[in-house]
Amino acid sequence: MSYLLCIETSTKVCSVALFKNDELIDFEEEDGSYSHAENLAVFIDKVLKRKSVNYSDLAAVVVSKGPGSYTGLRIGVSLAKGIAYGAQIPLIAIDSLSSLAWAAIRRHKTEADFFIPMIDARRMEVYAAVYDQKLNQLKEISADIVEEDTYAAYLNEGKVCFLGDGAEKCKSTVSHQNAVFIQQKASAKNMGALAFEAFQQKRFEDVAYFEPFYLKEFVAIKSKKKLV
């Protein structure tokens, strides 16, 4: 029996889940307010205490590595690394889009031939990848500008399921008859199966040197507000 603590902070959702092997046994989640700094440590404390699990009982800590929110990823990875180092347990990293796709395929496998999870970036841009029904990655993760023909190659071949918080941009732009849109947000609840597989295969990260997968460099935007 292995307890895996999963952390997801790549989007607006702040999410923590506790798994026994690949079985979800508890979770805490705050949706839509970028509350990672305020809530993440509190959520971890809650799920561990409710199940009477100590840090020393954990087999590994699992974190969503990105792409996604720069600040969210920094907070999630920093805390995960701290837990791994302090408890002397392995660190596992799962890419944000794979866990999104896994959840969608599990629930909607028969509804589409391709699955495109999307995480909102700036303006009409998304972080996206393409998967088939078996979670094989057909297109590398990239930052895509959403236009009518961005995913035409897949739409012309079969049903395409768009999901994630970036899919709203596609909904207003892609009108192809093969486009299917579902509501599927990033959540630590989706990480268990992939995390347990990585744990069994000992796909661990170097705690000292691991960094989030940002995909793009952070760009600071100058505030338009006047300072008094």
Residue 135, domain CATH: 3.30.420.40
Question: Looking at the 3D structure of the chain, how many domains does it have?
Answer: 2
Name the residue range of residue 49's domain: 3-95+186-200
226 has a pLDDT exceeding 90: no
3-state secondary structure of 187: coil
The torsion angles phi and psi of 88, rounded to 5 degrees, stand at 55, 50
38 and 91 inside one domain: yes
130 and 193 inside one domain: no
64 and 75 inside one domain: yes
Q: Is the pTM of this model over 0.85?
A: yes
Alpha-carbon gap, residue 93 to 173, rounded angstroms: 33
38 has a pLDDT exceeding 60: yes
pLDDT for residue 177: 95
Alpha-carbon gap, residue 120 to 82, rounded angstroms: 28
Please report, rounded to a whole number, the percentage of residues in the chain having pLDDT higher than 70: 94
The residue among 41, 34, 79, 38 whose CA lies nearest residue 61 is 79
How crowded is the C-beta side of 210, counted as CA atoms within 13 Å? Answer: 27
Please report, rounded to a whole number, the percentage of residues in the chain having pLDDT higher than 90: 81
Q: Is the peptide bond before 90 cis (omega within 30 degrees of 0)?
A: no
Give pLDDT tens digits for 156-204: 999 999 999 999 888 889 989 999 999 889 999 999 999 999 999 999 9
